[in-house]
Chain A
Amino acid sequence: AQTVTQSQPEMSVQEAETVTLSCTYDTSESDYYLFWYKQPPSRQMILVIRQEAYKQQNATENRFSVNFQKAAKSFSLKISDSQLGDAAMYFCAYRSASDNFNKFYFGSGTKLNVKP
């Protein structure tokens, strides 16, 4: 089974600053999808950003962007101009493109603290 590793259990950032959350994954496949989900204290899991492995261009959603390094199997999330509302658990997830059943593999999460 694929494994997803988030090596930073917890991180802190000053409001308005930039922070990068790390994620690595292990796979022998060439086509897959990668995701970042945000889980605020409300507990709701919210999709932040998604990347298709066949696309070389890094995905961007407003203040959120990724650095996708396919050869290194790395998928980091950059949050620019951090806001207090960004404080949450962030989960990296992997899904094989050949998986007909849409099974995700999640990392253990990174808790992001935002300091005012």
Chain B
Amino acid sequence: DAGVIQSPRHEVTEMGQEVTLRCKPISGHDYLFWYRQTMMRGLELLIYFNNNVPIDDSGMPEDRFSAKMPNASFSTLKIQPSEPRDSAVYFCASSLGTGYTFGSGTRLTVV
């Protein structure tokens, strides 16, 4: 199994631009989570899905953030428009049962 796959690994964009982060969970996992990691706030849960359905998006910081999971093998996190304070590492994780498997994360830099 290739694990949870995230792309891109690094993203540098200018303020105001749209950014789309991608995640492919492990096949058969029924939960998918998006986290944001910063030095100041640590790991923050943004949103999670169960069987492709969004369950809790209360962690999404603003309306500029949106996430979708059109099928069991793909999810996106979109930021539009992006701002410098969105700079962080964004992780996707999937699970079946009690443990998580994380992707390698996307480091987003908004200049």
Contacts and interface: CB of A to CB of B under 8 A. Distances in A.
A26 B59 CA distance: 20
A107 B101 CA distance: 17
A35 B99 CA distance: 9
Contacts of B48: 101-103
Interface in A31-47: 33, 35, 37, 42-47
Contacts of A95: 98
B45 A104 contact: yes
Contact of A47 (B55, B99, B105): B99
Interface in B53-111: 55-56, 89, 91, 93, 95, 97-102, 104-105, 107
Interface residues of B, number: 22
A106 B102 contact: no
Interface of A: 33, 35, 37, 42-47, 50, 91, 95, 101-104, 106-109
6 contacts: A50-B98, A101-B55, A102-B48, A103-B56, A106-B43, A109-B42
Given A102-B48, A102-B100, A103-B45, 20 more contacts: A37-B102, A42-B104, A45-B91, A45-B100, A47-B99, A47-B101, A50-B98, A50-B99, A95-B98, A101-B31, A101-B50, A101-B56, A102-B95, A102-B97, A103-B48, A103-B56, A104-B33, A104-B100, A106-B42, A109-B42
